Amino acid sequence: MDLITNRTIEITKLGMDGLMERQHAVASNIANVMTPGFQRQEVAFESQLAEIIEKEDLKDYIKGQNSIEYKPPMVDVFTGEVHQYRTPTMQEKAYLKSNTMAQFDPQVVTDIYSGSDSSGNNVELEREMMDLAKVGTRYTVLSNLERMQFTGVSEAIRGQ
């Protein structure tokens, strides 16, 4: 694990990016609450983030099962069995080098399922205000998690 660019920091950054996109969408919805025909926007990113985490877990599993550098066979001194280390296949090496986090792209989608008023606008101000509060709370949680990660790195550098 790289001390500075560990997976927690990278994933919290992606989550915060997705939440910022969602905040922009909610702000746009609030700004257009009285615009005739406006359809509210939502931002979907959680499933992409879960998929990235699964792919990163698979990378960790492959790394754990393989040895990228050469290791000679080990002989068990008690049984005499020879334990071979498996080297990764070309596909596994390519997968390990791939940047799964670069695939993150929060999707802005139009909500066509919510009921609309007589003007065709489907924005409900109360719902948008609740969504705004949820986004703010989630962003605060992720920023605190990232702060704790950087505090740990800082303490390691200072030797504390």
Domain boundaries, the chain: 7-153
Span 25-48, pLDDT tens digits: 999 999 999 999 999 999 999 999
Q: What tokens were used for 60?
A: 């960790």
91-95: long-range pairs with CB below 8 Å, 24+: 92/62, 92/66, 93/68, 95/58, 95/59, 95/62
Q: CB of 82 within 8 A of CB of 74?
A: yes
Distance CA 26, CA 21 (A): 9
Looking at residue 1, its pLDDT comes to: 45
Q: Which residues contact 105 (CB under 8 A, 6 or more apart)?
A: 48
Span 72-106, pLDDT tens digits: 666 666 777 766 666 777 888 888 888 888 889 99
Distance CA 17, CA 97 (A): 23
State the burial class of residue 149 (Cβ atoms within 10 Å of its Cβ: 0-12, 13-18, 19+).
Answer: middle
pTM: predicted TM-score of the whole model, two decimal places: 0.76
Average pLDDT over the chain, rounded to an integer:
85
